[in-house]
Amino acid sequence: MRRLVASDLLPERAGQPVKAVVHVSLAELRAMEDGSLLEAEWATGVRARWAARLAGRRRGPGPPPATRP
Percent of the chain topping pLDDT 70: 78
pTM: 0.41
Backbone phi, psi, residue 16, to 5°: -90, 145
* 24-56: pLDDT as tens digits: 887 887 787 776 787 788 889 999 999 988 887
Q: 30: Cβ–Cβ under 8 A, 6 or more apart, which residues?
A: 36, 39
Residue 47, pLDDT score: 93
Measured between its terminal Cα atoms, the distance across the chain in Å is 44
